[in-house]
Amino acid sequence: MSDAALEIARLRAALAASEARVETAEARAETAESELAQARAVVSTSEAMIKHLRLEIARLRRDQYGHSSERRARLLDQMELQLEELEAAATEDEITAEKATKTTPVAGFERRRPARKPFPEHLPRERVVIEAPTACACCGSDRIVKMGEDITETLEVIPRQWKVIQTVREKFTCRACEKISQPPAPFHATPRGWAGPNLLATILFEKFGQHQPLNRQAERYAREGVDLSLSTLADQVGTCAAALEPIHGLIRAHVLAAERLHGDDTTVPLLAKGGTRTARLWTYVRDDRPFAGGAPPAALFHFSRDREMAHPNRHLAGWQGILQADAYGGYNDLYRGDRDPGPVISALCWSHARRKFFELADIKGTVRKGKPAHDISPVALEAVAKIDALFDIERQFNGLDATSRLEARQRLSRPLVEDLHDWMRAELGTMSKHNPVAKAIGYMFRKDRWGAFTRFLEDGRVCLTNNAAERALRGVALGRKSWLFAGSERGGDRAAFMYSLIVTAKMNDIDPQAWLADVLAQLPGTTASQVPNLLPWNWRTSESSQAA
């Protein structure tokens, strides 16, 4: 055998040994990942069991010793919320472990009554006919003939109806071969599921869309004659979160594929030992409709225990584009020139800037606070008028394409912005640095922010405000008084997950509850390539959904 042949044989043996080592390493990694998922599931289940036992002990003590204080009742409510989050987390981890081991087992005003609108045509009508007279009410004659009728419509509601659907699979035996034939079992919306997709969608939307905690839902269901425990409902929330992960992943990828995003955050109370702490719910919104971009709108939410700079860096890691946000310093790392893959371009919000002047020029607000009307700052009042002129111009071409918007801004808005800049600089030179108006002006000039405020004059895609993100967070702000706090960090993450789905559906003018019900019904029998068809902007309601 020649030296070349020996060398080829040696190289082939080395390649085979290397491939064997790679396969062994991959097998070990899969085993380690499976064991880690199983360990997480065991820990989550144990935590939920411990919390459940503690709640039972607290209830027994309360029953034995009576209502010692209002604080104890509040503590029980807190424990129920914690148990709700732990149960949902345990179910979520259990499903993840199963997937990993699938190869092995305004001021007061006089109210104006609105004109009553006609009732919707699609509602069924039930005729209740009052018994007609048999004789004339005047002379008593029975020779009366119908000449018409008057109809008064009253809107009524029928209480929610519960039903149990029995899916029957008939068995047949063959007289020739004696084999038994039977249709396959239908897919459930969730593994080992007992709840239908409409019930699951109701639970999810009432909790995250209508801000009704599960304990209140359980109480209402019990009054309707259906006893569903808090633990049972929490289990379904966790199961649905795991089932809807492919939809959420596609929404996340769609949002982060945008060249321009709106970003904002709001406070969320997080249950902590001895009380609550202030956590944060972040949102990043893709909305290209103002410049006729064509891409469907969507929102992505994240939860964090605090407002540190690391969170925006993690949320937008690898993303590059224009970020419309307020002047929060936590975004500053994103704007660095040495950022990988490149700096994010800042575009600041004129609504935030206008708000600082408006607070100093709000006559009604000043009088309401007990201050004399002459405390109104004329400089702030003029600043509000100048900024409002920009908003009036912007409304004229909202919805045009980016090129048309940029041309109109250069022609109409740029002269007003340059005049506002020179006027504010002149006024700033006549004021003390402690003057509230000087601080409002300084907000726009500090740290070279003026370039970020005027970004809309350079790019027709940029909006004048960050209102898209604020609208996305409006439901959270309205719901805080209902659910009071997030029960755990995992619960906050799960809320952010569901807000991403619900708010995106609303932005696409889709009924979130109907969409969730249909998606949960179709997902089990949907292949990975068909999942994009279930996104809100692609979704078409199925016949079963319309019937429901």
Amino acid at residue number 472:
A
DSSP string computed for 248-276: HHHHHHHHHT-SEEEEEEEEEEEEETTEE
Spatial CA neighbour of 485 closest among 253, 274, 230: 274
pLDDT at 480 (0 to 100): 65
> In sequence order, what are the beta bridge partners of 384?
none
Distance CA 72, CA 538 (A): 49
pLDDT at 113 (0 to 100): 45
Q: What is the mean pLDDT of residues 152-158?
A: 82
Write down the domain spans for the chain: 27-58, 242-508
Q: What is the mean pLDDT of residues 25-47?
A: 75
pTM of the model: 0.77
Banded model confidence at residue 82, pLDDT cuts 50, 70, 90: low
Q: Which burial class, exposed, middle or buried, applies to 98 when counting CB atoms under 10 A from its CB (0-12, 13-18, 19+)?
A: middle
Spatial CA neighbour of 48 closest among 492, 496, 488, 356: 488
Cβ count within 10 A of residue 512: 21
Q: In the chain, helix, strand, coil percent, each to 5?
A: 55, 10, 35
pLDDT at 142 (0 to 100): 85
Percent of the chain predicted with pLDDT > 70: 82
Banded model confidence at residue 107, pLDDT cuts 50, 70, 90: very low
Task: Give per-residue pLDDT as tens, 404-438.
Answer: 999 999 999 999 999 999 999 999 988 888 888 99
pLDDT at 108 (0 to 100): 41
The distance from CA 401 to its chain's CA centroid, rounded to whole angstroms, is: 28
pLDDT at 109 (0 to 100): 37
Residues 6+ apart with CB under 8 A from 172: 180, 181, 182
pLDDT at 59 (0 to 100): 63
For 80, 84, 298, 448, the CA distances from 233, given in Å and listed in that order, are 12, 8, 28, 52
Task: Give per-residue pLDDT as tens, 488-502.
Answer: 788 889 999 999 999
pLDDT at 102 (0 to 100): 56
Residues 6+ apart with CB under 8 A from 248: 497, 500, 501
